[in-house]
Amino acid sequence: MNNNIENRILELRKKIAEYDYHYYVKNNPIISDFEYDSIYKELEDLENSHPEYKSETSPTNRVGSDLSKDFPTYTRQIPMLSLANSYSAIELIEFDQRIRKILPENSKVEYVTELKIDGLSIELIYKKNKFHLAATRGDGTTGDEITANARTIRSIPLEVVSNLGDFSVRGEVFSPKNIFLKINEEREEIGEKKFANPRNFASGTLKLQDPKIVSERKLDIFTYYLLSENNIFQTQFENLTQLEKLGFKVNPNYQLHQNIQQVIDFCNEWEIKRNSLPYEIDGIVVKVNSFEQQKILGNVAKSPRWAIAYKFKPEQVQTKLLNITWQVGRTGALTPVAELQPVFLMGSTISRATLHNFDEIQKKDIRINDFVFVEKGGDVIPKITSVNFEKRDKNSEKTQIPTECPICKSKLSSNKEEVAIYCTNENCPAKIKGKILHFCSKNAMDIDGLGEAVVDKFVDLGFLKNVADIYNLKNYQTEIENLEGFGTKSFAKIQEGIEKSTQKPFNKVLFALGIRFVGEGVSKILAKQFQNIENIIKTNKEELIKIRDVGENIAMSILSFFADERNIQLINTLKNHNLQFETKKNDINSNISNKLEGKTILVTGTLQNYSRNSIKEEIEKHGGKVATSVSKNVDLLLAGENAGSKLEKSQELGIKIITETEFLEMLQ
Active site residues: 116
Phi, then psi, of 490 in degrees rounded to 5: -60, -45
Contact 554, 518 (CB under 8 A): yes
> CA-CA distance, 618 to 632, in Å (whole number)?
22
Amino acid at 657: I
Q: At what angle do helices 198-206 and 177-189 cross, to 10 degrees?
A: 80
> CA-CA distance, 221 to 238, in Å (whole number)?
19
> CA-CA distance, 67 to 51, in Å (whole number)?
22
Q: What is the 3-state secondary structure (H, E, C) of 68-113?
A: CCCCCEEECCCCCCCCCEECCHHHHHHHHHHHHHHCCCCCCCCEEE
Contact 173, 187 (CB under 8 A): no
Phi, then psi, of 152 in degrees rounded to 5: -75, -15
Tell me the DSSP string of 519-565: -HHHHHHHHHHH-BHHHHHH--HHHHHTSTT--HHHHHHHHHHHH-H
Ramachandran category for residue 356: left, alpha or beta (phi over 0 → left; psi -120 to 50 → alpha): left
> CA-CA distance, 646 to 359, in Å (whole number)?
17
Tell me the DSSP string of 314-373: PPEEEEEEEEEEEEE-TTSBEEEEEEEEEEEETTEEEEEEE--SHHHHHHHT--TT-EEE
Collapsing DSSP to helix, strand or coil, 236 comes out as helix
Q: Is the dihedral of CA 443, 445, 447, 451 positive or negative?
A: negative
